[in-house]
Structure 1
Amino acid sequence: MQISILGCGWLGFPLAQELLESGYNVKGSTRSDEKFRLLEENGVEAHRLTLPEDLSDCGSSSSSFWKSNTLFLNIPPGRGTENVVQSYTEKIESVRSVLESKNSDIQQVIFASSTSVYPMEEGSFTEEMTDINNTSRPSGKAVLRAEEIICSSDQFETIVLRFGGLYGYSRHPVKQLSGRTGIKSPYKPVNLIHQRDCIRIVQTLLKSEISSGIYNAVSDGHPPRKTLYQSAARHYDVPEPQFDEESDSINRIILNEKLKEEFDFSFNYPNPMDHTA
């Protein structure tokens, strides 16, 4: 089975390595010469792709990238991007155009989405509870619009994975918060997922007969921000972040029952408080 990974960064590259070990033929895209060499050195068929990728620009070096069974679409919008909705929509529309063209053999897309599509308000959110006019931030609106663009095609099947905040190994949110003071929402629950579980979910989807749907990919545990990040700071031996105790803390939880039930999935790292990860 052939899989193409559009976006071989912090998640896409280790996913490619795992899939190679499992016997998949893996193609990966990158924009940098350094990552191109890294992909090749690790047995990934490397391709240079810059989006928006217009059909007229699909030369021989990139067109074979689309000759796979499945595409893992893993390109985030970027929070600081100006006109993020427009720029990200253009990228996703360009991908869809290629997927619907004669240059593509892709039968299924697994789209790495985000829980930012949900509003930043009190509640426990299932996959059906989205509104493009009520997302948490502009990047969330961009991602939700991207979901609509990809899912509306009738020429390939799409599974959407709404990942929570990503962490694992050398990456942890506390490293950005370390030493800061006056951080808002100390008791707001976190919605995170470990890199290892992200990879395992994609592997599970590739083996499943389920070919379309939308799923929240968030770990079971939702400890308060203050509890988690101060504990993690002690574990990583960095200055503890300090929180504004008088600021509001909304109880916003992303539910993962659909993913667990339909795929019989259990998390290796169900609780972000496990700092051995």
Structure 2
Amino acid sequence: MNINKSVGIIGCGWLGQALASQLLQNNYYVVGTATSLERLAQISSLGAISEQLTLPLELADKNSYQCFDCQSLIIAITPQLRSGKVDYPKKIAQVVAKAQQGKVKQIILINSTAIYGGLKGDVTETSPLDLSQPKVETLLEAENIIFNSGIHAVSLRVAGLVGPNRLPGNFFKPGLSLKEPNAYVNLIHQADIVSCITHLIANVEITGVYNVASAMKVSKLEFYHKAALSLGKTPPEFETPNTMPTNKGKFVVSNKIRQVLPFQFKYDDLQAWL
């Protein structure tokens, strides 16, 4: 294994496997972790090394994992906050501890723009966070863990993911009323987040917090109406005009990542992609 071209992906699912495929094409040595045998088989079929890693780790786990001997470590596990889980920071801390014991020189955390919960208007990486919300506090704690690791660290605050097998027109079940129809849509295409990560892997010296979202500024009502029609489906129902708030919610601004990385987003206009 060439340590300078090796990447470990913790939680190698829908996004991680797309990233692994791209890295393998670029001649990287890739190790992907998963918990299920089915997903491990998917990782192996790509040509990557698969390792079974279940988080949180048991105290008695003394196993040696190849992913922690890679130069770059991508943490792409889901916080599962909607499921009521509260152990996300614990999992991140365990991964970081293993990375510190290994050969990892760079950590990239796939975080979420849910960290901006409760905010309105344009939000950037320097926007004051609403720490009264438990999910915000949890996501920020995870970020702080990687930045206090002593390892070059990047936190990507990623908008909602779309792409192959995640088409926006399929997001809403028939009969459900869409709330906040005037709120902005904050999404990013799989191909663009993969490009961001691959460029960061090639530039280990880059650190900090970066938003990753398309530049498209459009309402949920307009976007999801078009998304449904693009699949030949009935558009989702919306709150009635009398109850629709005029608040447009938050819009995630991703200028910082665009200034740092030398590439153009391919799907900045997701309406055109539909």
Unaligned 5+ runs, structure 2: none
Q: Report whether the alignment pairs 1:180 with 2:175.
A: yes
1:14 — aligned with what? Answer: 18
Query: Deviation above 4 Å: which 4+ runs of structure 1?
Result: none
Report the Cα distance in structure 1 between the residues aligned to 2:258 and 2:75, rounded to whole angstroms. Answer: 22
1:247 — aligned with what? Answer: 244
Shift of the alpha carbon at 1:186?
1.0
- Counterparts of residues 134-173 of structure 1 (less than 5 Å): 134-135=132-133, 138-154=134-150, 156-173=151-168
What one-letter code is carried by the residue in structure 2 that aligns with 1:111?
Answer: L
2:66 — aligned with what? Answer: 64
Report the Cα distance in structure 1 between the residues aligned to 2:175 and 2:162, rounded to whole angstroms. Answer: 19
Shift of the alpha carbon at 1:257?
0.8
Select 1:273's aligned residue among 251, 271, 274: 271
Greater CA drift, 20-29 or 91-100: 91-100
1:34 — aligned with what? Answer: 38
Shift of the alpha carbon at 1:147?
0.6
Residue-by-residue CA offset, 1:83-123 (whole Å, 9 max, x unaligned): x33x112111111221222xx11010011001011133322
Report the Cα distance in structure 2 between the residues aligned to 1:259 and 1:41, rounded to whole angstroms. Answer: 32
- Counterparts of residues 1-277 of structure 1 (less than 5 Å): 1-54=5-58, 56-60=60-64, 63-82=65-84, 84-85=85-86, 87-101=87-101, 104-131=102-129, 133-135=131-133, 138-154=134-150, 156-208=151-203, 210-244=205-239, 245=241, 246-248=243-245, 249-276=247-274
Unaligned 5+ runs, structure 1: none
Report the Cα distance in structure 1 between the residues aligned to 2:122 and 2:259, rounded to whole angstroms. Answer: 17
Residue-by-residue CA offset, 1:214-253 (whole Å, 9 max, x unaligned): 1000011121000000111000112210111322233411
Confirm or deny: 8 A CA contact 2:72 2:106 kept in the other structure: yes
Shift of the alpha carbon at 1:180?
3.2
What one-letter code is carried by the residue in structure 2 that aligns with 1:157?
Answer: H
Report the Cα distance in structure 1 between the residues aligned to 2:273 and 2:267, rounded to whole angstroms. Answer: 10
TM-score (norm 1): 0.90
Residues 141/198 of structure 1: CA separation in 2 closer, same or farther (3 Å cut):
same
Tell me the C-alpha RMSD between the 2 structures: 1.7
Report the Cα distance in structure 2 between the residues aligned to 1:153 and 1:79, rounded to whole angstroms. Answer: 24
Report the Cα distance in structure 2 between the residues aligned to 1:5 and 1:55, rounded to whole angstroms. Answer: 22
Confirm or deny: 8 A CA contact 2:219 2:248 kept in the other structure: no
